[in-house]
Structure 1
């Protein structure tokens, strides 16, 4: 089954970025609004303390779990926001590289932000998403 999400690029905007500029969703659809996926294990503990990539992997595994529970997958994601608790652009890039590896060819529109602090103890990464259910 194909996803109702069609990613868009624009010829007047740079093709250098590794994400689409917009996503069109064919209606009628059901939309899944996901809370920020956090780097927590099943007991609610923050994993990979101090490790941006390790936390990014856990965040993506948790995001996938919620998508799958709703009958969706990463190719159904229409938009994301990636939060990284750092003022160092290199840390943002580390997280982005892990995030992009999970998304593969599905380069959904996304915003990458460096923030001061996130909600859980020792939390460095969070990803929120909007998906369209197939």
Structure 2
């Protein structure tokens, strides 16, 4: 199997034994991103919209490192600490796409890394 590892300093460094993304067979699998500021490695806190924008900026940096953008996303998974956050996260998330939205699911989970409120992973085609 041929695979290419994607890592950029413009997105948070992995906090475990994984990479930011892997490309194989013209598909890119992006690890879940949380609202960490890559410059400081500190959590971006405040309101849910601010946190979600940071997550999307992290994802964008990884996409850019691979030479693509959100138009290449075919699947997203959104993890929330509470489904009451859905409307806000959905509004911010949607603002990063034009018309051809990817497939997606959104799930509420018991806990997320560093006790954040939102984590998003994506799959893209090259």
TM tier relative to shorter chain: 0.7 to 0.9
Instruction: State the structure with more CA Rg.
Output: 1
Instruction: Give 1:47's aligned residue.
Output: 44
- The alpha-carbon deviation at position 104 of structure 1 amounts to 2.6
1:81 maps onto 2:77 in alignment: yes
Instruction: Give 1:34's aligned residue.
Output: 30
1:131 maps onto 2:124 in alignment: yes
Residue aligned with 1:45, SS: coil
The one of 58, 82, 94 equivalent to 1:100 is 94
Contact 1:82 1:111 in 2 (8 A): yes
Query: Which structure exhibits the higher relative contact order, with contacts defined as CA atoms closer than 8 Å and separated by 6 or more residues?
Result: 1
RMSD over aligned Cα atoms: 1.3
Instruction: Give 2:67's aligned residue.
Output: 71
Instruction: Give 1:113's aligned residue.
Output: 107
Q: List gaps (5 residues or longer) in structure 2.
A: 1-24
Equivalent residues, number: 101
**Distance across 2 between alignment mates of 1:45 and 1:112:** 25
**Distance across 2 between alignment mates of 1:35 and 1:87:** 21
Q: TM-score, normalised by structure 1?
A: 0.71
Q: List gaps (5 residues or longer) in structure 1.
A: 1-28
Q: Which 4+ stretches in 1 moved above 6 angstroms?
A: none
- The alpha-carbon deviation at position 87 of structure 1 amounts to 4.1
Q: TM-score, normalised by structure 2?
A: 0.75
**Distance across 2 between alignment mates of 1:45 and 1:30:** 33
